Structure 1
Amino acid sequence: MRRVVSLFLPHWSTDRLRRKGLGPSPDGARLPLVTVVPDHGRRVVAAVDLEARRHGLTPGMTLTKARSLVPELQAMDADPEADAAGLRSLALWAGRRYSPIVAPDPPDGIWVDITGCAALFGNETSLVKDLHRRTVAFGLSLQIGVADTAGCAHAAARHVPAGRPVIIEPGQSRKALALLPISALRIEAGVAEALRKLGFERIEQLMGEPRGPFAKRFGRGLYRRLDQALGMVPEPIDPLFADSLPRARRGLLEPIGTSEAFAQVIGDLASDVVAQLTAIGKGARRLDCFFHRVDGITQTIRVGTAAPSRDIAHLAKLVISRLETVDPGFGVEAITLAVPLMDTMGSRQAEGLADDVQRGPNLAALVDALANRFGHRRLYRDTPRPSAMPERAIAQAGPLAPPGGASWRIDHPRPSRMLTPPEPVQVTAMLPDHPPAMFVWRGKRHRVVRADGPERMQGEWWREAGHEADNPYAVRDYFQVETATGGRYWIFRLGDGENPATGPMRWFIHGAFA
């Protein structure tokens, strides 16, 4: 099911000016800010920030009246072109991080089609929270609405009072729209006012009335907006691309809907974008393939590469392997292939050779195939990291990431399986330095027949305490033990066995040897 985010920026013009460096007054106070436009010899307020709105200022009043209410008011000339350019930049940022399908929603919003993208963040709520948190960090006031349709999301973001994102559950668009004002349908202000005078305040009142008389009086746009918000009429979002983005598009004479036809077009598009990448000395790191259906809906496939690539067959294969996620509906009339993420890549001698030339093992191609099937976050390798504590001495890196400066310790063996966090065990042992003679873990008793240790480790004092076994001031004494059943475990005691200030003398199991 389609899911659309409407990001509403109620103070976009003034927030953008503050981000450019318009600071507070010399005494450090944050003064109210408005933008103004000339109007028949007067200067009229075009936009207000939150502080100005709290003082009762609204768009449309004259600057003279605004200054009479707020003498310390800051006023800047409005710049609609700069506002539009900034909105476009914000949409492109959202497209790189959240979804291939983004577009500005002038004058104060952007669209983000997150259909199929929520899994990259765990779930839809996590994606929306991340978008909200990062946008607030930019210094922008915002409200977010999420729904099955662009119209419903737009209405929720602007007409549902809430201090957090408004998420309309799938299939609940009609119920959510019913109680909203008619002006939430993005109709002309004059039409909304005329309907209000007739006694129509909420959208649910409009839903139950015969359409003919209202369409004749107010035009077809009224019900077109209503049907778009309800999902009865498609409202496509035209994807936004950066001007310098390598991309190729094929418009088809007749709609297609088979995997074989898709594969043929994708191969041609991959050849076109690789030619563009070669000309600028770049390699693709991410590909977005857009399938434009005849009903106005656009579906996408996003794939990535572990290393920059200009291999036509490989790039096409990555996209083709995800074709099962595309629903062609009544047919696809155009396909676009874009490269939103690139990296520098030098020329290679093998690029001009025939396809059957043996180039040796292609590890990057294997990594790409696995990552795009199972998810990029599930494919990684463990690398050493400088740390005194074993659980922090391992970091995760990309499969083809260059090696870091640290190296693995080989003087002291470490278990192949580590428990996070370490689990408490009940131990019978003589203090201070004798190894455990027996321990109980997960309700099962284990008798120790062999042991080696202790290996003493000291917590990292600059870290804050979290789990009890993660106390940065505690001493750990580690023992490698072997049980009567053949199991080999890594067990430690918090404390040196003598001084209570070094730890509570509790025992934990930290891992198991293969």
Structure 2
Amino acid sequence: MRQVVSLFLPTWPTDRLRRRLGRSAPPPDAALVLVGMEGNRRVLTAANTAARSIGLHAGMAATQAQALVPDLTMMDAEPEEDRQALERLAIWSLRRYAPIIALDPPDGLMLDITGAAHAHGGALGVLRDILKRLAEVETAGRAVCAPAYGAAHALARYGADPVRVVDPLELVGAIGALPLAALRLDRATVLSLSKLGLETIADLEAMPRASLALRFGSMPGQRLDQAYGRASEPFEPIAAPERIEVERRFVEPIGAPETLARYTRKLVDQLCQQLEEAGVGARRLDLRFHRVDNVIEAIRAGLARPSRDAKQMGRLLCDRIETVDPGFGIERMLLAAPAVEPLSFRTISNLGDVPVPDVAALVDILGNRVGEERLYRYAARESDIPERSVTRIAPMADPTLLRWPERWPRPARLFARPAPIDTMALLPDHPPVHFVWRGIRRRVKQADGPERIYGEWHVSEAEWLSVRDYFLIEDETGARYWVFRQGDGMDSATGGQGWFLHGLFG
């Protein structure tokens, strides 16, 4: 099943301009429009969210916009700079999200994440990560994943949900109620169809195809087929200018899995030679299969650390060849390394040093099967608050120098959210006599504490006076728990005096 993403950036020109202007940019809630020339007329080419909310839109005459909003902020449009910025976004996305990315100017990208979504926990994980990173740079976006790009494009621009993954079985119902403009038809065709009473995609789909083509040409039928996934849509994938890649063309199309695997290994050998000449190692591999029907199949594999081990790289790619649909045959294969890093070597001594096991190959295999985002190690982090003192790092990241404090023990299992418990304790400094957790009453046999931890005032003003008193307690069965009281037991400003279970020992 194909997974194609349409990334729609509704206010891309104004968002890019605000980033360029920095502190001198107009306030975010001020109406901002960009003006360009259309023949001899000055018209609006883009409008931010505030401008759209008061009725301004692209294509409106600049004089009309000024008459409606006297204090309107107007700036010159920069279409060429907008396109260059869109290309830079596409190249960045190519390295991170998908092996096949194409521009959809002036305000969108097409990403084919088939075979690559697992690295981010699935298609929904890809969409959320894209929009999260765009939001960090104050760029609005909508992203939809569907089996066909025509459907994804329509839902991203005219659908109700800013983030959505469309199941193939729901495709017909998902796009049927959208307006005809969602099919990327020209305005004149949409107006002509509306005069016939056709308002939605479902209305057009119900029309006889022959009479539709006779009156309006082949374009409405073609856009319908592309939206419903009945016809392929060719794209010109973008390529990073400095990317290291090798390719192989075939006189006769190939399609057998064993043949694809054999040529994959040959391409890996050629790529490793180029990586060696450049003095770098690959962190990500993209293998594209160009079919004779202009459809591109792709495989993406990630590596835990820079490598040019041909055997390991070939295994990672060949393990996923079964996901490739050769169709009527593959006429071209292209292998690229969109992400590379300098390759460092480790000196191995035979003078009694204990060898360190290399688990990079295992991490690569697991990462490409279950997703890179699902593999991690825990490491210490500078924070007195227990739940903030732990962070996730990459499986092959360098060891951190931070260590947890040894003066007080920490539980082997720390809850992400402390669990409320019912207790009986003598305030202010005594541990509980007993506590109830998960419906079971546990009598405390031994206890140690309190260990007082203060809130981090530099993180939140609400923590200025907050206090936690932690106790290590043991019940009659020998089980040990880490509990705390919120507050110092005397002043309500330091906390609500409630008790919580935060971790388990052993």
Give the TM-score range, shorter chain: 0.7 to 0.9
Does structure 1 residue 422 correspond to structure 2 residue 418?
yes
CA contact (8 A) 1:37 1:77 kept: no
CA contact (8 A) 2:120 2:372 kept: no
**Distance in 2 (alpha carbons) for counterparts of 1:21 and 1:168:** 38
SS of equivalent to 1:400: coil
State the partner residue of 1:456.
451
Distance 1:348 1:81, change over 3 A: farther
**Distance in 2 (alpha carbons) for counterparts of 1:28 and 1:111:** 28
CA contact (8 A) 2:466 2:493 kept: no
**Distance in 1 (alpha carbons) for counterparts of 2:366 and 2:176:** 46
Distance 1:281 1:37, change over 3 A: farther
SS of equivalent to 1:300: strand
Distance 1:439 1:185, change over 3 A: closer
Superposition deviation, residue 104 in structure 1? 0.6
Amino acid at match of 2:272: V
Distance 1:228 1:507, change over 3 A: closer
Distance 1:207 1:416, change over 3 A: closer
**Distance in 1 (alpha carbons) for counterparts of 2:28 and 2:158:** 34
State the partner residue of 2:313.
315
Does structure 1 residue 407 correspond to structure 2 residue 403?
yes
- Give the total of aligned pairs: 498
Does structure 1 residue 85 correspond to structure 2 residue 77?
no
Please give the TM-score of this superposition, normalised by the length of structure 1.
Answer: 0.80
Superposition deviation, residue 147 in structure 1? 3.1
SS of equivalent to 1:153: helix
Distance 1:195 1:32, change over 3 A: same
Structure 1 unaligned segments of length 5 or more: list them: 351-358
Higher RCO (CA 8 Å, separation ≥ 6 residues) = 2
**Distance in 1 (alpha carbons) for counterparts of 2:447 and 2:13:** 68
Superposition deviation, residue 230 in structure 1? 1.6
The equivalences for 1:218-297 within 5 A come to 218-297=216-295
Alignment identity in percent? 41
SS of equivalent to 1:413: coil
**Distance in 2 (alpha carbons) for counterparts of 1:501 and 1:11:** 45
CA contact (8 A) 1:388 1:457 kept: no
Amino acid at match of 2:390: I
SS of equivalent to 2:384: coil
Superposition deviation, residue 506 in structure 1? 4.5
Superposition deviation, residue 103 in structure 1? 1.0
Superposition deviation, residue 444 in structure 1? 3.2
Match of 2:202 among 201, 204, 224: 204
Distance 1:58 1:401, change over 3 A: closer
Does structure 1 residue 2 correspond to structure 2 residue 9?
no
Does structure 1 residue 36 correspond to structure 2 residue 32?
no
Task: Summarize deviations over 1:274-313 as a string: whole Å, max 9, x none.
Answer: 2332333322112222233444443333222222112222
**Distance in 1 (alpha carbons) for counterparts of 2:390 and 2:89:** 36
Does structure 1 residue 337 correspond to structure 2 residue 335?
yes
**Distance in 2 (alpha carbons) for counterparts of 1:27 and 1:12:** 16
**Distance in 1 (alpha carbons) for counterparts of 2:424 and 2:57:** 75
State the partner residue of 2:147.
148
CA contact (8 A) 1:478 1:490 kept: yes
State the partner residue of 2:471.
478
Superposition deviation, residue 478 in structure 1? 1.6
The equivalences for 1:463-502 within 5 A come to 463-464=459-460, 473-481=466-474, 483-494=475-486
CA contact (8 A) 2:6 2:153 kept: yes
SS of equivalent to 2:37: strand
SS of equivalent to 1:407: coil
CA contact (8 A) 2:281 2:307 kept: yes
Superposition deviation, residue 413 in structure 1? 3.0
Distance 1:324 1:55, change over 3 A: same
SS of equivalent to 2:169: coil
Does structure 1 residue 108 correspond to structure 2 residue 107?
yes
Task: Summarize deviations over 1:208-239 as a string: whole Å, max 9, x none.
Answer: 33333442443333322221112111124443
Distance 1:117 1:67, change over 3 A: same
Match of 1:367 among 347, 360, 363: 363
**Distance in 1 (alpha carbons) for counterparts of 2:165 and 2:363:** 36
CA contact (8 A) 1:23 1:30 kept: no
State the partner residue of 1:355.
none
State the partner residue of 2:505.
513
CA contact (8 A) 1:147 1:167 kept: yes
**Distance in 2 (alpha carbons) for counterparts of 1:54 and 1:231:** 34
The equivalences for 1:52-71 within 5 A come to none
SS of equivalent to 1:227: helix
Amino acid at match of 1:388: D
My pick for the range that moved more, 98-107 or 341-350, is 341-350
**Distance in 2 (alpha carbons) for counterparts of 1:166 and 1:367:** 30
Task: Summarize deviations over 1:234-279 as a string: whole Å, max 9, x none.
Answer: 1244432211111222233344444422322222222232233233
RMSD, matched Cα:
3.9
CA contact (8 A) 2:465 2:493 kept: no
CA contact (8 A) 1:476 1:496 kept: yes
CA contact (8 A) 1:14 1:47 kept: no
**Distance in 2 (alpha carbons) for counterparts of 1:194 and 1:503:** 68
CA contact (8 A) 1:287 1:303 kept: yes
SS of equivalent to 1:388: coil
SS of equivalent to 2:419: strand
My pick for the range that moved more, 48-57 or 4-13, is 48-57
Distance 1:258 1:126, change over 3 A: same
Distance 1:27 1:191, change over 3 A: closer
Superposition deviation, residue 434 in structure 1? 5.5
Distance 1:275 1:464, change over 3 A: same
CA contact (8 A) 1:148 1:171 kept: no
**Distance in 2 (alpha carbons) for counterparts of 1:193 and 1:332:** 42
Structure number with bigger Rg: 1
**Distance in 2 (alpha carbons) for counterparts of 1:192 and 1:289:** 40
Amino acid at match of 1:284: A
CA contact (8 A) 1:247 1:339 kept: yes
